[in-house]
Chain A
Amino acid sequence: MMRESIRLYMLVLFLNGIVFAEGSISGTVKFEGTAPKIESITMEADPVCAAKHDSPITYEYFVIGEGNTIANIFVRVINPPIGDYKPPETAAVIDQKGCIYDPHVQGVMVNQPIEILNPDGTLHNVHALAKVNREFNQAMPKFKKKIVKKFDKEEFMITIKCDIHPWMGCYVGVSTHPFFAVTGEDGKFKISGLPPGTYEVEAWHEKLGTQKASVTVKDDTSANIDFSFSRSTK
């Protein structure tokens, strides 16, 4: 009964959205100050990895675009509209091609399958240092091309690293709802599908910490909210 009524409510919300249009939150994240020098990765620990790259690869913890925009910021709504959000059936992907995790930062939903790929033909171990979810540390030898994992609880952010290739690290945010986004190199993000209301928004960066802001979405407009990170905000 309960579930039915929620579904009905969802449907109303959904229709509401179609009829009255949905709002969205978008913005740009910038980095203040001079961009730090990024070290390049030496892959001497594993020749297989080194052989995959012609030019030197840099770490991804500071990806700064033109106009000091910053990538890999995870932005999420802290107080989503009430609802029963189902995880998408399409799996999220973490690729380990060339011994680099791709993407470096991403959001998934609770119970959404995550495919972890190993196209390199070397040994990786996928060590998810989860605190709320069950921690796992799964080896992916040469013969294991793909494993599928799920996180069944909300958690921000889970560090995933490879103990064999210490430069490999990525972050996954596990959310109960779909209102999150990650900035690209242009520093832009957009969270859409939000009914009118006031939302708390959090932006996270692996080295620069988190920032919070509040924003009001009106009807079908896109509310704007910009963040700016600097090394002192850590």
Chain B
Amino acid sequence: MVEKQENTRERLYNISKLNVWFAISSIIFFVVLIWSFADDYSRSWKDYQRQFRQLQITKTNIRLIEEKSIFEETEEYKEILNKLEEIQIQSAQNIDEIANAENELVKKKTEYIRAEQRYNFSKADYDAVKYEYEEAVAHNSREAEELKKRLDQIHNELSDYRLAFEAAKENVEKQAMEVRSFSADIKKLKRRKNELAGRANILENKLKNIDPTHMTVSNKIANTLRDLPFFDFMSPYYKVNQVVVIDVTDNVNFTRVPKVDRCITCHQGILNTEFEKDTQPFKTHPRLNLFLSSQSPHPVEKFGCTSCHAGRGRGTDFISTVHMPSSSEQEKEWEEKYQWHQLHNWETPMLPIQYIEASCFKCHSGETFIENADKLNLGMNLMERAGCYGCHKIEKYKDKRRIGPDLNKIASKLNEDWTFQWIKNPKSFRHNTWMPQFFGQSNNNDPNSRVRTDQELKAIVHYLFKHSSDFPLDPIPVDGDIERGEKLVASLGCLGCHRIEMNPFEDETTLQTLRRDHGPNLIGMGSKTTPEWIFTWLKQPESYFPTTMMPNMRLSDLEAADITAYLNTLKRAELMEKNVPSIDENIIDEIALGFLKKMNSDSDARRTLSNMDMEQKLDYNGKKLIRLYGCFGCHNIPGFENDKPIGTELTYEGSKRIERLDFGFVDIPHTKHAWFTQKLKEPRIFDHGRINPPDEKLRMPNFEFKDMEVEALVTVLLGFVKEETMHTKVSPRTARNVFVEEGQWIIRKYNCQGCHLIEGDGNAIGPTIKEYLVNYENMSESEADAVNTSYNPPNLVGEGKKVQPQWLHHFITNPEIIRPWLKTRMPKYALDNDQVNTLVKYFSYLDDQDFPFVNTVIPDVNSTMVKTGELLFSDDYFACGKCHIVGDKLPGGSVDNWAPNFSLAKDRLKPDWIIDWIVNPQNLLPGTKMPTFFDPDYFEWSGPDDIFDGDEHKQIIALRDYILTIE
């Protein structure tokens, strides 16, 4: 009792109880330790690597069996096996002989080494004595004589040793030859056997490394051991694989660190084409020729993975890498399979695969056309066609022209009622117009809004017509013919930029369809405007609209009158039959008051309003509303020449923080792409559930984009990122790149590819030319197909190689007829000198030509070459004048079969190109009417034998030289 009392006095706790607690807690700690150890050891990526290893083993085994079945069946292989066996049996019989020979060889080798050593030692002695002797002689020492004797003695020995050593060497070689003779056949056979089994052996070796059943016992043990906990720090099979890219950095708040991508830890087959048909994560990358592989332009060691895909490269499991589903179905699937949820604290989640091309912009943002990035190119073209940068500032499109028609002289072209109906519902007049819809949208379609917006429209139209300047229209000097006009529209080239299609078409949008949407669909021209306006416009588009894309088609008065007559028959009367409401004074007042109250007190506003008459109110409202809706973003409107665009800047929209996007009450995933998609599909949606006064509602108009168009546009928006980290990867700004890009921009702006094939793309007009041939030239479909190429505007492939830059400059500014048979006509564009120069340089640089061009071939008219060329040119030989115009001498028959005038050649063509062309025109321009005079299959026998002794090359140069002298 006493003792116990003492105990309690001295110690606060009961020791034995404490021991129990200590034991329990140490067990818990131990368990936790094991647990944490186990948890750390077990990683999901290891499971993937195990699965991948198994997959590899299965695949390799299958391939091994296949490989074996190929060579094991061959006669040669069977024979080798037989022979090897025979030899083995033989060598078993001769075993003693072989062993003796081998022993002898060893003996002889020993002797040889001994002899060599003796010789070397002796030589060293000789050198030493020699030195001593020389020194002794120099100092007149007495020892000199004695040393001399020794030196001679060693010298004799040395020669003996040398002979012995050389003999021993020879013996060894002889013996070795004898030994080799026993095994020579075996070696040869084995080498051939290995050759046959080469690939199978590689596979077998691979299996020895990865497949335990193919391993030796010790390797099997090592294989198990290397991945056990604790041992796995040394050289584990399963380990995190990563790519480190030093010159691309990740932003980790306040500092930047080199990119570390561990994606290949799980995506193990990404670089290996064997896994093309496997499922994720082992599937091969679908575009290895473009990405990852060392021969591609984007090797993985220089770009990593997340440079393009985004996401968290350092992560090693499905969630922490911030994978993003590409559809709601995939999202569901992932939630079930991986318990997927988005890591919200990582700002750049992986790009859903449909938007992956957004990343190209990080390095290629300056480029006009990004090769292979089809969706991104489509998105950029859509953006330019829809004119997004009219309202949204985008650095890439700085200073680009307003894309809509000029409204400064609107009164000469349209009337007020038509304009009202048009703005109210443009698509009801032209189903595929680029003019978007502002009214009748989800946030202004209730009855009250409808009444109000009608009055807004009245005011806008009033303003436009009131401020329209006069534009005198030319009277049409001759009577046009509708049929001739229709034929002209079908053949001149109008259809390279315009369609005439009454009904909506469901074609997928491509760069090619956009080219034909470059200008408006011409349906309803006759209901929209007057014949006089059409005539004046056709003759001189830039007089009405100085910055128009519509070129001058170089039409005669009659041609313009014909086309006018035809276009005037294209009517759309339905729209005009609808009612235009009359002016409602109360609402006009209400609108005006609303604007006035923004700047003034209520009483001041009312006073100002009461002093305005209706005309002034409409004018005031019109001006305020045009500013509110931002009409001047696309149109030139008097009074709005210098206004700033009204929309959000989109230059870095892809880097915008998600919190800065207002999702309102709309239930969509909180991601940028979901928001952009929703906004483009239904621009007013985020007003849903909000109560806003009319002038504070969302105003972005509805373009009624198709789903695929939205996807392409979202790709571009996601690509507009602020990214300075990739600067080492941007393609260099060489003169060539700069001029090619600028040229491409002009080509896109003026839609040159609507008619021409440039860089292998374009010629959107092609199908309509065929239609023309069938409908107007009485050809069957197959006939039209056959000759279509020669009736199309010229393919500009190799244009830089072909024409002289000076000539091209002249031609673009002042087009002339080169191909007399063409119905399409090269129009005259209102390009300034800089733009023409850019185009000329573009073609030169694209074909890697020297710029400026200096002509060094100026043939002498009296030379033999020119004289012979003239002979070859004549009807006795190649009869070039049968088709070609020669100066003012025309060939016979119809103009459809004529060919370009030779007098153009001197100034137009590059001399080297003429040679290439004569050699084989089909090579340069497949489908050309120009025949091959020199059979490409038998070139050396194809020219006439009696000229230059049948030297075809010389004949061609002579022809070229003569052609260059034709005036």
B897 contacts A by Cβ under 8 Å: yes
Within 8 A of A (CB), among B917-941: 921-922, 926-933, 935
CB distance from B600 to the nearest CB of A (A): 75
B508 contacts A by Cβ under 8 Å: no
Q: Which residues of B contact A127 (CB under 8 A)?
A: 929, 931
Q: A135–B928 Cα gap in the complex (Å)?
A: 10
Q: A135-B927, A136-B922 are in contact. Are A166 and B896 (CB under 8 A)?
A: yes
Within 8 A of B (CB), among A144-176: 147, 157, 159, 161, 163-166
A45 contacts B by Cβ under 8 Å: yes
Q: A46-B882, A135-B922, A141-B879 are in contact. Are A163 and B932 (CB under 8 A)?
A: no
* Of the residues A45, A206, A234, contact of B894 by C-beta under 8 Å: A45
Within 8 A of B (CB), among A89-142: 122-123, 125-127, 129, 135-139, 141-142
Q: A141-B877, A141-B933, A163-B931 are in contact. Are A135 and B926 (CB under 8 A)?
A: yes
| Cβ A142 vs Cβ B929 within 8 A | no
B399 contacts A by Cβ under 8 Å: no
Q: A137–B897 Cα gap in the complex (Å)?
A: 15
B783 contacts A by Cβ under 8 Å: yes
8 contacts between A and B (CB under 8 A): A45-B893, A123-B882, A126-B931, A142-B875, A163-B931, A165-B893, A166-B897, A234-B780
CB distance from A153 to the nearest CB of B (A): 16
Chain B interface (Cβ < 8 Å from any Cβ of A): 780, 782-783, 786-787, 875-879, 882-883, 891-894, 896-897, 921-922, 926-933, 935, 944
Q: A163–B882 Cα gap in the complex (Å)?
A: 10
Among B787, B891, B926, max chain A CB count under 10 A is at B787
CB distance from A193 to the nearest CB of B (A): 30
| Cβ A137 vs Cβ B922 within 8 A | yes
Q: Which residues of A contact B891 (CB under 8 A)?
A: 45
| Cβ B944 vs Cβ A163 within 8 A | no
Q: A135-B927, A137-B929 are in contact. Are A123 and B893 (CB under 8 A)?
A: no
A66 contacts B by Cβ under 8 Å: no
14 more CB-based (< 8 A) A-B contacts, given A46-B882, A142-B879? A122-B879, A137-B929, A137-B930, A137-B932, A138-B931, A138-B932, A138-B935, A143-B876, A161-B787, A163-B929, A164-B882, A164-B883, A164-B897, A206-B780
Q: A159–B779 Cα gap in the complex (Å)?
A: 13
Q: A139–B930 Cα gap in the complex (Å)?
A: 9
A37 contacts B by Cβ under 8 Å: no
Q: A159-B782, A207-B780 are in contact. Are A147 and B935 (CB under 8 A)?
A: yes
B872, closest chain A residue (CB): A141
Q: A136–B877 Cα gap in the complex (Å)?
A: 20
| Cβ A166 vs Cβ B932 within 8 A | no
B893, closest chain A residue (CB): A45
A147, closest chain B residue (CB): B935
Q: A129–B875 Cα gap in the complex (Å)?
A: 26
Q: A159–B785 Cα gap in the complex (Å)?
A: 10
| Cβ A159 vs Cβ B783 within 8 A | yes
Q: A122–B944 Cα gap in the complex (Å)?
A: 15
Among A46, A161, A164, max chain B CB count under 10 A is at A164
B922, closest chain A residue (CB): A137
Among A44, A46, A122, A139, max chain B CB count under 10 A is at A139
| Cβ A137 vs Cβ B928 within 8 A | yes
Among B780, B879, B896, max chain A CB count under 10 A is at B879
Q: A142–B933 Cα gap in the complex (Å)?
A: 11
Q: Which residues of A contact B928 (CB under 8 A)?
A: 137
Q: Which residues of A contact B921 (CB under 8 A)?
A: 137
| Cβ A139 vs Cβ B876 within 8 A | no
Q: A136–B931 Cα gap in the complex (Å)?
A: 8
A122, closest chain B residue (CB): B879
CB distance from A113 to the nearest CB of B (A): 13
Q: A122–B874 Cα gap in the complex (Å)?
A: 11
* Of the residues A142, A157, A161, contact of B876 by C-beta under 8 Å: A142
* Of the residues A126, A163, A207, contact of B883 by C-beta under 8 Å: A163
Q: A126–B933 Cα gap in the complex (Å)?
A: 11
Q: A136-B922, A137-B922 are in contact. Are A46 and B893 (CB under 8 A)?
A: yes
Q: Which residues of A contact B875 (CB under 8 A)?
A: 123, 142
Q: Which residues of A contact B933 (CB under 8 A)?
A: 139, 141
CB distance from B229 to the nearest CB of A (A): 59
| Cβ A137 vs Cβ B931 within 8 A | yes
Q: A45–B922 Cα gap in the complex (Å)?
A: 24
Q: A28–B130 Cα gap in the complex (Å)?
A: 117
| Cβ A159 vs Cβ B780 within 8 A | no
A47 contacts B by Cβ under 8 Å: yes
* Of the residues B782, B893, B931, B944, contact of A125 by C-beta under 8 Å: B931
CB distance from B940 to the nearest CB of A (A): 15
* Of the residues B892, B927, B929, B935, contact of A45 by C-beta under 8 Å: B892
* Of the residues B877, B892, B894, B930, contact of A142 by C-beta under 8 Å: B877
| Cβ A129 vs Cβ B786 within 8 A | yes
Q: Which residues of B contact A161 (CB under 8 A)?
A: 786-787
Q: Which residues of B contact A123 (CB under 8 A)?
A: 875, 878-879, 882
Q: A45–B821 Cα gap in the complex (Å)?
A: 15
CB distance from B469 to the nearest CB of A (A): 53
A128, closest chain B residue (CB): B786
Within 8 A of B (CB), among A31-80: 44-47
Q: Which residues of A contact B893 (CB under 8 A)?
A: 44-46, 165-166
Q: Which residues of A contact B787 (CB under 8 A)?
A: 129, 161
CB distance from B872 to the nearest CB of A (A): 9
A142, closest chain B residue (CB): B876
Q: Which residues of B contact A136 (CB under 8 A)?
A: 922, 932
B782, closest chain A residue (CB): A159
CB distance from B951 to the nearest CB of A (A): 16
Q: A123-B878, A123-B879 are in contact. Are A166 and B894 (CB under 8 A)?
A: yes
Q: A234–B928 Cα gap in the complex (Å)?
A: 29
CB distance from A61 to the nearest CB of B (A): 9
CB distance from B722 to the nearest CB of A (A): 51
Q: A175–B882 Cα gap in the complex (Å)?
A: 35
Q: A45-B893, A164-B883 are in contact. Are A139 and B783 (CB under 8 A)?
A: no
Q: A207–B932 Cα gap in the complex (Å)?
A: 29
Q: Which residues of B contact A125 (CB under 8 A)?
A: 929, 931
Q: A143–B950 Cα gap in the complex (Å)?
A: 13
B936, closest chain A residue (CB): A136
CB distance from B900 to the nearest CB of A (A): 13
Q: Which residues of B contact A234 (CB under 8 A)?
A: 780
* Of the residues B876, B892, B896, contact of A44 by C-beta under 8 Å: B892
Q: Which residues of A contact B894 (CB under 8 A)?
A: 45, 166
Q: Which residues of A contact B882 (CB under 8 A)?
A: 46, 122-123, 164
Q: A137-B921, A139-B933 are in contact. Are A46 and B892 (CB under 8 A)?
A: yes
Q: Which residues of B contact A122 (CB under 8 A)?
A: 879, 882
In the complex, the 8 A-B pairs of residues with the closest C-beta atoms, listed nearest first: A45-B893, A125-B931, A139-B931, A123-B879, A129-B786, A45-B892, A163-B929, A139-B933
| Cβ A141 vs Cβ B927 within 8 A | no
B928, closest chain A residue (CB): A137
CB distance from B378 to the nearest CB of A (A): 29
Q: Which residues of B contact A141 (CB under 8 A)?
A: 877-879, 933, 944
Q: A123–B932 Cα gap in the complex (Å)?
A: 12
Q: A164–B821 Cα gap in the complex (Å)?
A: 13
Among A129, A161, A165, A166, max chain B CB count under 10 A is at A129
Q: Which residues of B contact A45 (CB under 8 A)?
A: 891-894, 897
Q: Which residues of A contact B786 (CB under 8 A)?
A: 129, 159, 161
A125, closest chain B residue (CB): B931
Q: A46–B893 Cα gap in the complex (Å)?
A: 7
Q: A138–B931 Cα gap in the complex (Å)?
A: 5
Q: A157–B781 Cα gap in the complex (Å)?
A: 13
CB distance from A138 to the nearest CB of B (A): 5
| Cβ A139 vs Cβ B892 within 8 A | no
Q: A87–B186 Cα gap in the complex (Å)?
A: 51
CB distance from A128 to the nearest CB of B (A): 10
Q: A159–B877 Cα gap in the complex (Å)?
A: 26
Q: A139–B959 Cα gap in the complex (Å)?
A: 15
Mark contacts of A207-234 with chain B using CB atoms, 8 A cut-off: 1 yes-contact digit, 0 otherwise: 1000000000000000000000000001
